[in-house]
Amino acid sequence: MHLCVVDPADEAAVAALHRIYVTVGRADDPEAFVAAPVEEILECLREPTARFAFTAFLGLEDGEAVASGWCALALADAPQLAYATPRVLPEFRRRGYGSRVLAAMERHAGAHGRTCLQSLAVWSADHGPDGSGSAPAGFAAAHGFGLAKANIRLRLELPSDPARLDALLGERAAGRVGYTTRAWVGPVPAELLPGWAVLHAVLSADEPHGALERPEETSNPNTIRDDERILARSGQVKVNAAVLSPAGETVAYSSISTRIGSPEAAFLRGTVVHRGHRGLGLGALAKVQALRLLERTRPDISAVITENDQENTHILELNRAMGFLPVLYSGAFQKHIGASAAS
């Protein structure tokens, strides 16, 4: 197999990279895979974001693209980290292609001074939360990775149950007197952006990390605008809801991403509540408002996918209360590597 770095100017190579990504995703995660469009992949390769610099690898066998690698080098908040995702078409597995792609990404990460490599994999519920006996967990272990954090992926079929959501909002409603909500489609309004960026950093800090080395992200509005730029240029848009305190501060939000003009499942990107305003059901309020706006504006979308750390019992219980059901497990694997001089 010939391995090469993908040039974002090479349309055929980018198309092949995306084709492998979609084919593998649908094969390994048929119930919950939500594909990013090729335009998003291209945008990431063309220009680093505030958080990551991306490099893609393509494996060719007799001129046919059969394997790929997606490597993200974390920047300011975590200069020691790299994230690597090897993919091999199902019919070409067990030939060593995945090992070769992973080795190339490990060399790339080490050459750029990274000392910790992380990777995400999915497996069916039959293998339990630790992935015992699954091919991804076995592959990771064989290459020196340990399972550092286990997640569960969930799916909500639409339309949602209005009575169920009303009952959820009725809980702790008295404590929310004076709080208001705003819901919209598209970028975060400028007047809400500073508070939104603070909450984004809180979300990063509060997520259970297990044994993962994870940075505590700084509050940076440019990070939010970076994400929105990539979404917009790749034909995607967010459906958002924010909760404002009686003083007008942004104290909670929930965000769902969709593809413009596509009925594919939406993805619940994150929900967070300011630490000083918890215990009032603001997370449920933000989630429900975002979901209801999604259903009003995109009745063609038939499901929402989300993913939670299994230790985050509060959010898991909230998602189940809304009607989300588990469909599979995923795990974050980690390996410490030696850095080498950048080439």
Rounded CA separation 91/256 (Å):
34
Q: Under DSSP, is residue 44 helix (H, G, I), strand (E, B) or coil? A: helix
In the prediction, which pLDDT does 334 show?
96
Contact 170, 229 (CB under 8 A): no
3-state percent helix, strand, coil for the chain, nearest multiple of 5: 35, 30, 35
In the prediction, which pLDDT does 341 show?
43
pLDDT category, 172, cuts 50, 70, 90? very high
Residue 209 has pLDDT above 70, yes or no: no
Contact 75, 50 (CB under 8 A): yes
Give 43: exposed, middle or buried? Use CB within 10 Å, 0-12, 13-18, 19+.
buried
Residue 177 has pLDDT above 90, yes or no: yes
Contact 78, 118 (CB under 8 A): no
In the prediction, which pLDDT does 342 show?
41
pLDDT category, 235, cuts 50, 70, 90? confident
Could you identify the residue written with the tokens 């693209």?
A: 65
In the prediction, which pLDDT does 343 show?
39
- Long-range CB contacts (within 8 A, 24+) of 221-227: 221/193, 221/194, 221/196, 221/197, 222/50, 223/49, 223/50, 223/51, 223/197, 224/188, 224/193, 224/196, 224/197, 224/200, 225/187, 225/193, 226/49, 226/50, 226/51, 227/49
pLDDT category, 113, cuts 50, 70, 90? very high
Contact 6, 65 (CB under 8 A): no
Contact 342, 111 (CB under 8 A): yes
In the prediction, which pLDDT does 201 show?
87
In the prediction, which pLDDT does 223 show?
86
Contact 324, 215 (CB under 8 A): no
If we measure between CA atoms, which residue out of 58, 74, 73, 55 comes closest to residue 18? 58
Phi, psi (5° rounding) for residue 20? -65, -45
How much of the chain exceeds pLDDT 70, in percent? 96
Average pLDDT on 282-306 reads 97
Q: Which CATH architecture has domain 2-151+331-336?
A: 3-Layer(aba) Sandwich (3.40)
CATH 3.40.630.30 in the chain is located at 2-151+331-336, 159-301
Residue 340 has pLDDT above 80, yes or no: no
Residue type (1 letter), 227: D
pLDDT digits (tens, 9 = 90+) for 16-50: 999 999 999 999 988 888 888 899 999 999 988 88
- Output the pTM of the full model: 0.82
pLDDT category, 111, cuts 50, 70, 90? very high
- Decide the pairing of beta strands 266-273 and 250-259: antiparallel
Average pLDDT on 336-342 reads 70
Residue 7 has pLDDT above 90, yes or no: yes
Helix, strand counts (H, E) of the chain? 9, 12
Domain over 159-301 is classified CATH 3.40.190.290 = no
Residue 208 has pLDDT above 80, yes or no: no
- Of 18-32, 136-150, 218-232, the least confident: 218-232
pLDDT category, 246, cuts 50, 70, 90? very high
Residue 331 has pLDDT above 60, yes or no: yes
